[in-house]
């Protein structure tokens, strides 16, 4: 007799709370949530990478390693959904702040910061007696009602920018006048300590936990900058990858595809989708371009290994305190790998020069340098999936998720579909906590039936899950996915894929399956209406929008300097002309 129907009934009952067995007293687990930044589907060792991530791999080996977990195409919407369990269009952060359009003005769910209609995991758990701490990237707002100190966290040291330098207190984009570091309710205007981001943020979180109440369970969030631009890492980690990437991105992309198949992450039928035509060919690079590309990839590997090292230090510290055995650990990435090649934008290149950032391959990754992998290496990080961050292709939205600790069976690979809004209800379930009354409802589903081995998935074949961010759109239902990506690497066309056989999205079935396409389009329209999506304008190009804002910010900050240089040039040119005329006379 098949157990499938029984498992689905159990899952549904657990979702409704009928089978939930809340932990109480000393049984309640601590929760450690590790958020990685811009990590691709196959960037961790357990997912087929050549990068050494032994601490996270060990968690995967003793817990659950998800192979079909999805997030938003970029950081802020993912983080909003992760911490609230609600769709991003209900949280106030449906997109990145640099991509906000005028139509959002005054509209509920589009406030530009975490609104007060939703409650965070920390707020829910705080009401159940938990203490909560967070260090690292927040990016959900810094008003008195949006900072983590106002949203259930007892202590916080956070970054409310999309990124920042990893060595110094300075911004990484002209869009910001400073790196928005905050401790509790106060801005941090300078660092008074040695600062490599992964090391410092781990140390500060250890301090917070150590200073907390030992008799109360805790939620600790370690939100690392690895691997967000600028890619930076201590030489001791970067140099371990010398020569590893000399063969180029196409070779690495194929290596990762084969590794993912060998590990069982994807079916043997998985093929690579065609690369976007704008991507560079490895053989066409100049010597200088190739040296920078190789060095940047080495830094990316070193940065991720360094992050794993510091996660390991935190786990070791918890073990030394006698707390690790009762700590539920979750590791995930906020979106797929970063594709941006910043120096393609002239304003950004000028800003880097003004800031004094170096891109010398000889010491890339160290203090004062600025590295990035660009779209070509990003496709290798996401391999065998298609596209990358900012896009609705699986490479932009399917990322690693590892869960291990008390209450979690040693499951190995988990292939059932899951979504970022599922994390919040899962943690509340594991903690035996009830959601606060009167706040925006949690729409994700608890993964507890999966983690305890009762079910393979919490979604049935007819359950639809939608996603939208600035026109980047997707809907998953059963084996099917409907997707649309906008420029610069999308064309606004709706495509249909069967992910059970084609997770690489190499074969668009929209023309051959018109009935399924129509049904999926209808379900997507219902999703938009339900959550209140405000459509992006036709032809919306996120890269162009961000670049335009970059130019404006650069001119606002350095316009007088440029005007002065221009005036000096005119004066020198004018003086030269006068001198030539006099000599001719």
Q: Which residue numbers are catalytic?
A: 75, 139
Per DSSP, the three-state class of 149 is helix
Angle at which helices 287-320 and 54-62 cross, to 10°:
50
> 510 CB contacts (<8 Å, ≥6 apart)?
494, 495, 496, 517
Euclidean distance between CA atoms 310 and 302, whole angstroms: 12
Euclidean distance between CA atoms 514 and 482, whole angstroms: 12
Instruction: Give one DSSP letter per residue of 463-480, joined into a string.
Output: -EEEEEETTEEEEEETTE
Euclidean distance between CA atoms 585 and 579, whole angstroms: 10
Nearest 10 degrees: Cα torsion 315, 262, 390, 196: 30
How remote is the C-alpha of 37 from its chain's centroid? 4
418-419 and 464-469 beta bridge pairing? unpaired
Per DSSP, the three-state class of 151 is coil
Is residue 340 within 8 Å of residue 402, measured between CB atoms? Answer: no
**Which has the closest alpha carbon to 455: 424, 481, 426?**
426
For 487, how many CA atoms within 13 A lie in the half-sphere containing its CB? 11
Euclidean distance between CA atoms 455 and 451, whole angstroms: 8
DSSP E strands in 294-371: the ranges are 327-333
Q: Cα–Cα distances in Å, from 129 out to 2, 125, 186, 214?
A: 42, 6, 25, 12
Euclidean distance between CA atoms 583 and 371, whole angstroms: 50
Among the residues of 485-541, which ranges form H helices?
A: 514-531
Instruction: List the 464-469 sheet strands across, edge first.
Output: 464-469, 472-477, 480-484, 495-498
- DSSP label at residue 141: -
Among the residues of 63-120, which ranges form H helices?
A: 75-84, 88-91
- DSSP label at residue 314: H
Is residue 20 within 8 Å of residue 434, measured between CB atoms? Answer: no
CB count within 10 Å of CB 271 equals: 14
User: What pairs with residue 218 in β-bridges?
Assistant: 131
Euclidean distance between CA atoms 411 and 39, whole angstroms: 23
Among the residues of 127-248, which ranges form H helices?
A: 197-211, 235-238
How remote is the C-alpha of 488 from its chain's centroid? 19
**Which has the closest alpha carbon to 306: 55, 119, 122?**
55
Tokens linked to 554? 């650069």
Is residue 39 within 8 Å of residue 338, measured between CB atoms? Answer: no
* Alpha carbon distance, N-terminus to C-terminus of the chain: 106
């Amino acid at each position: 007799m098949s157990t499938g129907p029984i498992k689905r009934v159990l899952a549904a009952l657990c979702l409704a709370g009928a089978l939930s067995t809340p932990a109480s007293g000393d049984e309640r687990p601590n929760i450690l949530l590790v958020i990685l930044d811009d990590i691709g589907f196959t960037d961790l060792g357990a997912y087929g990478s050549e990068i050494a991530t032994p601490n996270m791999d060990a968690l995967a080996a003793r817990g659950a390693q998800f192979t079909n977990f999805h997030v938003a195409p970029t950081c802020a919407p993912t983080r909003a959904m992760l911490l609230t369990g609600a769709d991003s269009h209900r949280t106030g952060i449906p997109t990145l702040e640099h991509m906000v359009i005028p139509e959002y003005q005054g509209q509920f769910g589009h406030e530009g910061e975490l609104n007060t209609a939703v409650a965070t995991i920390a707020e829910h758990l705080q009401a159940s007696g938990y203490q909560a701490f967070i260090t690292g990237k927040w990016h959900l707002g810094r008003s008195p009602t949006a900072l983590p100190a106002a949203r259930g966290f007892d202590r916080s040291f956070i970054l409310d920018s999309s990124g920042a330098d990893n060595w110094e207190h300075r911004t990484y984009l002209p869009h910001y006048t400073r790196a928005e570091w905050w401790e509790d309710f106060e801005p941090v205007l300078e660092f008074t300590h040695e600062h490599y981001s992964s090391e410092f943020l781990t140390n500060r979180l250890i301090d917070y936990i150590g200073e907390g109440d030992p008799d109360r369970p805790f939620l600790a969030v370690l939100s690392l900058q690895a691997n967000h631009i600028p890619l930076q890492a201590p030489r001791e980690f970067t140099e371990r990858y010398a020569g590893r990437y000399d063969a180029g991105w196409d070779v690495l992309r194929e290596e990762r595809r084969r590794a993912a198949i060998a590990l069982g992450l994807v079916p043997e039928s998985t093929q690579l989708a065609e690369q976007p035509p704008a991507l560079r060919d490895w053989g066409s690079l100049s010597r200088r371009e190739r040296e920078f590309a190789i060095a940047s990839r080495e830094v990316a590997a070193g940065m991720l290994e360094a992050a794993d090292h510091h996660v390991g230090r935190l786990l070791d510290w918890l073990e030394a305190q006698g707390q690790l055995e009762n700590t539920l650990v979750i590791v995930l990435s906020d979106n797929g790998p970063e594709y941006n090649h910043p120096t393609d934008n002239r304003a950004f290149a000028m800003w880097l020069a003004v800031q004094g950032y170096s891109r010398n391959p000889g010491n890339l990754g160290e203090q004062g340098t600025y590295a990035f992998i660009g779209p070509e290496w990003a496709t290798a990080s996401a391999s065998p999936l298609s596209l990358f961050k900012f896009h609705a292709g699986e490479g932009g939205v399917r990322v690693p998720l590892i869960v291990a600790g008390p209450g979690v069976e040693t499951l190995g690979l988990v292939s059932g579909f899951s979504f970022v809004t599922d994390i919040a209800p899962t943690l509340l379930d594991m903690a035996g906590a009830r959601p606060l009354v009167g706040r925006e409802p949690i729409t994700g589903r608890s993964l507890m039936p999966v983690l305890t081995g009762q079910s393979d998935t919490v979604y049935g074949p007819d359950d639809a899950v939608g996603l939208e961010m600035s026109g980047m759109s997707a809907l998953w239902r059963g084996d099917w996915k409907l997707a649309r990506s906008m420029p610069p690497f999308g064309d606004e066309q709706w495509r249909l894929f069967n992910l059970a056989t084609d997770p690489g999205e190499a074969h668009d079935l929209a023309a051959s399956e018109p009935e399924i396409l129509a049904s999926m389009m209808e379900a997507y329209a219902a999703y938009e209406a339900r959550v209140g999506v405000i459509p992006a304008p036709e032809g919306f190009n996120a890269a162009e929008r961000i670049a335009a804002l970059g130019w404006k910010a650069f001119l606002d900050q350095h316009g007088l300097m440029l005007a002065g240089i221009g005036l000096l040039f005119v004066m020198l040119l004018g003086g030269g002309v006068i001198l030539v005329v006099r000599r001719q006379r």
